[in-house]
Structure 1
Amino acid sequence: MRSADAPPPGFYPPAPYSGHWVWIGIALLGVVLVWYVWVWWATRARPVVVPRRITPDRLSRIRADYARQIDLVVAQAHDGAITQRRAHQQVSVLVRHFVQEVSGIRAPTMTLTDLTSSGERLSPVSRVVGVLYPGEFAPRETQSVAGAAQVAKEVVSRWS
């Protein structure tokens, strides 16, 4: 005879979960938590950085430095050290970084449409980038960078 506490024959209690599954679940929750923290951090409002006032002496040094760098890119393209496409890209980057260094405007991350729609302040930069775009993105390299570099140097020399 069977005791009242004994399970009926053929009945087995459920098998316990392995301890590995608990750690896998905790790790997945941790990954989800890290994802939410990263999304929050990446999309938070960033403080506006106001550039310090640039003295006329420092502005003239910055202008001379960027004009020299543009001339260096043109010389490298003329010597064949870099392609005309690469030269157009580098001149575009130089003009955009100049504007950011002098005024604090995030021009390096702006498209031509962004620059054009930003108003009169950035219209000289949008003209330079508009001149550089065909040389940067045309199917074939056909344009010399010299003309675009001259326009870029004019913007660097006149920007305030």
Structure 2
Amino acid sequence: MLADAAPPGFYAPDPYQERWLWVGVALVGLVMLWYGFVWWATRERPLRQVPGPGTTIEALRRDYLRQIDAVLRRARSGDVSDRQAHQQLSVLVRHFVQEMSGIAAPTMTLTDLTESGDRLVTVAETVATLYPGEFGTHRAETLEGSAALARQVVTGWS
């Protein structure tokens, strides 16, 4: 027979234990879960078109106008420099636009804002006016004028 033909000292391989099958299945499952999580965490989410629940547009406008006034008060009292105040005004304008429209204005450069179309023209002009106050070595625009432009964007956005 065949068993008689095998050379002496030859042993057939031991079969795998059943637990290794389940370990392999669990590892494949974990890899699939990982890919699912990565897909879910990085998917493109729909843009929010209206302010959050319970927030009216007028309440949002009042809140941003109050924050603009607070920036002016802090600059007048000397708590922040004119440069910092210009930066804060720019941040406020960009975040207001994002909350009102869902457009990612806080992460857009001035070029991005300018090339975004008609909807962001006033925002791009306001940010362009604020840039010298934020980054320039000289005062290009008074802080009150910059705050007036920021108020104009907040009150005029539709």
TM-based fold match above 0.5: yes
User: 1:98 and 1:120, CA in 2 relative to 1: closer, same or farther beyond 3 A?
Assistant: same
Q: Distance in 2 between matches of 1:60 and 1:71?
A: 16
Q: Distance in 2 between matches of 1:110 and 1:100?
A: 11
Give secondary structure in 1 for the equivalent of 2:106.
Answer: helix
Displacement after TM superposition at 1:155 (Å): 0.9
Which residue matches 1:137? 135
- CA deviations on 1:74-98 (whole Å, 9 max, x unpaired) are 1111111100000000000000000
Letter in 2 for 1:117: E
Which residue matches 2:123? 125
Q: 8 Å contact 1:100–1:107 — kept in the other structure?
A: yes
Structure 1: any 5+ residue segments left out of the alignment? 1-36
Match of 1:151 among 130, 149, 152: 149
Match of 1:112 among 67, 87, 110: 110
Give secondary structure in 1 for the equivalent of 2:56.
Answer: helix
TM-score for both structures, normalised by structure 2: 0.68
- CA deviations on 1:56-91 (whole Å, 9 max, x unpaired) are x81111001101100110111111110000000000
Q: 8 Å contact 2:132–2:139 — kept in the other structure?
A: no
TM-score for both structures, normalised by structure 1: 0.67
C-alpha root-mean-square deviation of aligned residues, in Å? 2.9
Superposition pairs of residues 18-29 of structure 1, within 5 angstroms: none
Which residue matches 1:88? 86
Percent identity of equivalent pairs: 49
Match of 1:60 among 35, 58, 80: 58
Displacement after TM superposition at 1:45 (Å): 5.2
Displacement after TM superposition at 1:146 (Å): 1.1
Length, aligned pairs only = 123
Displacement after TM superposition at 1:50 (Å): 3.0
